């Protein structure tokens, strides 16, 4: 359950536990939606404020985690629909000078994941980056486990097509390539 230093919902120990346990996960999940680390951190703060305003605890740590991640997803979507985002242009991040080939590959995969449609991007992020099981993801996103499995499979297929190029060798031969 919870560590012993947590006296109860809303206490300093509880807040520290939430920050230590979930803050990085929430920020990474928000980043997959908004694609800006600063906005992702702001949304994560909003999620934590919403948690404190909620005024009551949770049935279990799993319920708590699902609530936090679902709230992060909803707040990220709301952020993308806001007038500020739809009417402004973002500057390119200039601090991403990756020179190592492994970092380039990671960046390429990350960009491919971020370019997936939302329904695939969310489940792939939760499965591969945060290590959740299909059953846990189904509780977080509110879909059946079979649906989550299908979304993962289709998302992987899209990623494979993006990363490899999506051409069959037979098609290349037929076209004279």
**CATH number for 43:** 1.10.1740
Kindly state whether residues 60 and 109 are assigned to the same domain. Answer: no
pLDDT (tens, 9 = 90+) of the chain, 177 residues, equals 555 556 677 778 888 888 999 999 999 999 999 888 999 999 999 999 999 888 787 888 889 999 999 999 999 999 988 776 656 555 544 444 444 455 666 677 788 888 888 889 889 888 888 888 999 899 888 999 999 999 999 999 998 888 887 555 444 444 444
* Contact criterion met (CB below 8 Å) for 6 and 17: yes
Separation CA 134–CA 127 (nearest Å): 7
Count of structural domains within the chain: 2
Whether residue 173 lies inside any domain: the answer is: no
Whether residue 110 lies inside any domain: the answer is: yes
Separation CA 44–CA 63 (nearest Å): 18
pTM (two decimals): 0.59
Name the residue range of residue 74's domain.
1-88
Query: Backbone dihedral region of 117: left (phi > 0), alpha (psi from -120 to 50 degrees) or beta?
Result: beta
Whether residue 36 lies inside any domain: the answer is: yes
Terminal-to-terminal C-alpha distance of the chain: 60
Whether residue 177 lies inside any domain: the answer is: no
Helix axes 12-34, 61-81, angle to 10 degrees: 40
């Amino acid at each position: 359950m919870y560590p012993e230093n947590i006296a109860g919902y809303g206490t300093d120990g509880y807040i520290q536990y939430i920050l230590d346990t979930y803050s990085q996960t929430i920020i990474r999940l928000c980043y997959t939606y908004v694609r800006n680390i600063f906005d992702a951190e702001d949304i994560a703060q909003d999620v934590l404020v919403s948690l404190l305003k909620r005024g009551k605890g949770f049935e279990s740590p799993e319920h708590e985690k699902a609530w936090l991640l679902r709230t992060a997803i909803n707040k990220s979507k709301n952020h993308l629909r806001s007038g500020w985002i739809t009417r402004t242009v973002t500057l390119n991040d200039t601090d991403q000078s990756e020179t190592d080939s492994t970092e380039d590959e990671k960046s390429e995969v990350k960009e491919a994941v971020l370019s997936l449609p939302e329904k695939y991007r969310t489940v792939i992020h939760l499965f591969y980056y945060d290590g959740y099981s299909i059953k846990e993801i189904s509780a977080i996103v509110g879909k059946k486990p079979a649906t989550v499995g299908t979304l993962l499979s289709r998302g992987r297929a899209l990623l494979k097509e993006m990363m490899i190029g999506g051409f069959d060798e037979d098609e290349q031969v037929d076209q004279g390539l």
